[in-house]
């Protein structure tokens, strides 16, 4: 199946130890621009590191040397325009490198991998936003990653108007953040739809409104049962968080 662009929803290939038990824990933060993903990922990384887990943080597009170069290429507001299909393929290429070079090795070592965006973002932005088809983009990403799906995707649900306000306060936008209202409405709908399916793995919808601390508590409540199900290696003293 790895050579096909068709996959069974809910199935994924994961790094395993010799007895066939999957190792590590792969958690993805998803949501529209301004939803608070990056902030909440950092807070969760700190909390898990304090508990003794080895935590690897990353982002998409990016996460590897080649991925960061592709990120600059596709998100820059300068240079030649990038058509929709080329954009989708650049994101898929970055994700392929990310999965093979960083995520899988970290999972095999028993780390908790936290990624700021993954397959859902491409499905929402290129599949729905660029009207290339959500299913087609999901299939492309699953092929690119050899069907590596997260153990959990935390979708931070924030109304589009609130997200737009947060982005405007930040003051800087990349090429995709600068898209029009119709584009953003399509992406929001796609994110919401994906959060209620198993196409890209298990999802938890988290209310992203309120204070940063309130949202953090909701994130912790969502991932605590998952941690309890896994026997991940932990240090007696808190290790240093590794981040890009």
Bond preceding residue 30 cis, omega within 30 of 0: no
Binding site annotation covers 38?
A: yes
Element (H, E) at 206: strand 203-207
Residue 64 phi/psi, 5-degree rounding, is -135, 170
Binding site annotation covers 37?
A: yes
Q: Residue for token digits 């030649």?
A: 80
Binding site annotation covers 34?
A: yes
Looking only at the bridges linking them, the beta strands covering 25-30 and 112-116 are parallel
Binding site annotation covers 31?
A: yes
Q: Residue for token digits 């979708």?
A: 155
Binding site annotation covers 35?
A: yes
Full strand arrangement of the beta sheet holding 152-157: 203-207, 152-157, 25-30, 112-116, 55-59, 242-243
Instruction: Check: CB of residue 166 under 8 Å from CB of residue 159.
Output: no
Annotated binding site: 31-38
Q: Which residues are annotated as a binding site for ATP?
A: 31-38
């Amino acid at each position: 199946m790895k050579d096909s662009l068709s996959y069974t929803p809910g199935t994924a290939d994961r790094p395993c130890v010799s007895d066939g038990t999957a190792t590590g824990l792969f958690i993805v933060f998803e949501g529209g621009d301004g939803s608070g993903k990056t902030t909440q990922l950092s807070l969760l990384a700190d909390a898990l590191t304090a508990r003794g887990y080895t935590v690897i943080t990353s982002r998409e597009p990016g996460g590897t040397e080649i991925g960061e170069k592709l990120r600059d290429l596709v998100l820059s507001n300068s240079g030649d325009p990038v058509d929709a299909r080329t954009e989708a393929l650049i994101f898929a290429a970055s994700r392929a490198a990310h999965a093979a070079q960083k995520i899988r090795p970290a999972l095999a070592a028993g780390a908790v991998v936290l990624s700021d965006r993954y397959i859902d973002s491409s499905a929402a932005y290129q599949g729905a936003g660029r009207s290339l088809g959500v299913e087609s983009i999901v299939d492309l990403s699953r092929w690119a990653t050899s069907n590596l799906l997260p153990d959990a995707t935390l979708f931070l649900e924030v109304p589009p108007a609130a997200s737009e306000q947060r982005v405007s306060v930040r003051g800087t936008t990349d090429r995709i953040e600068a898209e029009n209202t119709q584009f953003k409405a399509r992406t929001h709908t796609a994110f919401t739809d994906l959060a209620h399916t198993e196409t890209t793995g298990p999802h938890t919808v988290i209310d992203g409104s309120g204070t940063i601390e309130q949202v953090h508590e909701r994130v912790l409540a969502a991932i605590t049962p998952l941690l309890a199900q896994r026997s991940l290696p932990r240090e007696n003293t808190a290790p240093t968080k590794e981040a890009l």
